[in-house]
Amino acid sequence: MFRFIHSADWQLGARFSQFGARASQLREARLTTLRRALDLARQQAVDAFLIAGDLFEDNQVDNALVTAVIDLFRERPDVPVYLLPGNHDPASGPDSIWERPAFRNAPSHVRVLTTAQALDLGGGVHLLAAPLHQKLSTLDPSLKLRDLAASLPSGTLKIGLTHGALAIEGKHQPNDFPIALDAASRAGLDYLAIGHWHSWISETDGGRIVMPGTPEPDRFDHERCGQVALVELAGPGVPAKVVALPVATLTWESLSFDFLSADASRSSLEHAFNALRERAATCVVRVTLKGNATPQGRRETLAWLEGALAPFFVSQRIDRTALALSAPELADLQHRHPLLAQVLNDIDRMEVLATGSGSVSLPPLGEGTGVAAVAPPTAPLSLAEAQRLLDHSRTDLASLKTEDFVLLRQVLLQTLQEVAP
């Protein structure tokens, strides 16, 4: 019996531009996960820890990261590690990450398989590796495994190791190292450990080909990831026993707040935050605000959210709120500040000119509000006038989108509240 951990696509050193300065914390979390997976392997007393490509996001990540990874391996000499270069970290030459001093001087239980080879792991078990040497190729990397297997005696346990997309019609790019769906049986392998896609797939080729997915999720709404595979092979020809072990450090939660039903939204959000409270320190949370809000309501909600989001590891707020006044507020505004009512009309008009449609913030003057228009009737803003006004801030009317007008109204009404609370 041969037991091992099969993982892939750690993508260490990956970039998270949208999170700015907090991105480094997200990168840090991936190392924590790797440590956890190695510790798990140790507990399980596995015979091998396979990494089926893309341990690193790029060949050009910094040395500190490489050293940190080697240190994790070094600290666990009883876990034999087999590393396969993938398309993100191919064995492409002297610039490949595997040629760094840290890897060249790696401890002996860490094997980097930079050439196609069959390793005799002892006890009639062979590990056949087909590493990648470049970022793109239309060739099936498992073909090499077939050649390697042909030269091995039958009756031994053969485990394949390579990296690429499953050649499922319409689901892969032709130059993305397509692996035939019968690659394991074709080559006479008992198990083919692959990596590349970030979700768990374990049913291919009668369960002989397994793609474990990324051990650490890297975006919101990511399914079937955050695990490694624990594999047990009883002997040649016996189907593998594969168990998914969860190892992820962070959870990614995407929530929303709709001003259409502000109270309901708030209580459901509060509920969600409570549920997440215990893992807030390892939770990446995003709240999307939408719907029409009054300036007052929006301000209060933002203030509340700021406090509520504070305990989370990383939080992100996306504001898609449109600012709206209630009918009485509008009537009051028209009555007290007729000129401002005209300006809001002008903004509506501008939005129509710019986008072809508009969210009209004011009903026609004097209509439905029960209040007669105070300001004398005025001509609507012309296209030339609109562009002339925008020239003053070097803004092009045609480039303006609906959200720009939302912002414009927000600024106007927000400032109004500041000068006349």
Restricting to residues 221-280, name those near another protein by CB under 8 A: none
Pairing of strands 191-195, 157-163: parallel
**Are residues 359 and 322 in contact, defined by beta-carbon separation less than 8 angstroms?**
yes
Cα pseudo-dihedral 40, 42, 44, 48, rounded to 10 = 100
Q: Which stretch binds Mn ion (CB under 5 A): 61-69, 86-94, 121-129, 200-208?
A: 86-94
What does 54 bind: Mn ion, another protein, none (CB cut-off 5 to 8 Å by kind)? Answer: Mn ion
In the block, tokens 């077939």 appear at 146
Does 196 participate in binding Mn ion (rule CB under 5 A)? yes
Does 154 participate in binding another protein (rule CB under 8 A)? no
How many other C-beta atoms are found inside a 10 Å radius of the C-beta of residue 136?
Answer: 12
In the block, tokens 């001087």 appear at 105
**DSSP assigned state of 12:** B
Does 95 participate in binding another protein (rule CB under 8 A)? yes
What does 13 bind: another protein, Mn ion, none (CB cut-off 5 to 8 Å by kind)? Answer: another protein
Does 335 participate in binding another protein (rule CB under 8 A)? no
Distance of CA 95 to the CA centre of its chain: 28
DSSP string, 210-229: EE---SS--STT--S-SEEE
**Are residues 162 and 192 in contact, defined by beta-carbon separation less than 8 angstroms?**
yes
Restricting to residues 390-419, name those near another protein by CB under 8 A: 390-395, 404, 407-408, 410-412, 415-416, 418-419
CB of 333 to another protein, least distance (A): 10
Which residue, 72 or 201, has its beta carbon nearer to another protein? 72
CB of 95 to another protein, least distance (A): 4
**Are residues 369 and 415 in contact, defined by beta-carbon separation less than 8 angstroms?**
no
Does 54 participate in binding Mn ion (rule CB under 5 A)? yes
Instruction: Enter the tokens of residue 412.
Output: 């106007």
Which residue, 329 or 404, has its beta carbon nearer to another protein? 404
**Contact residues for Mn ion (CB under 5 A)?**
54, 86-87, 196
**Contact residues for another protein (CB under 8 A)?**
13-21, 23-24, 57-65, 92-97, 99-101, 336-337, 339-340, 342-343, 346-347, 375-376, 378-379, 381, 385, 389-395, 404, 407-408, 410-412, 415-416, 418-420
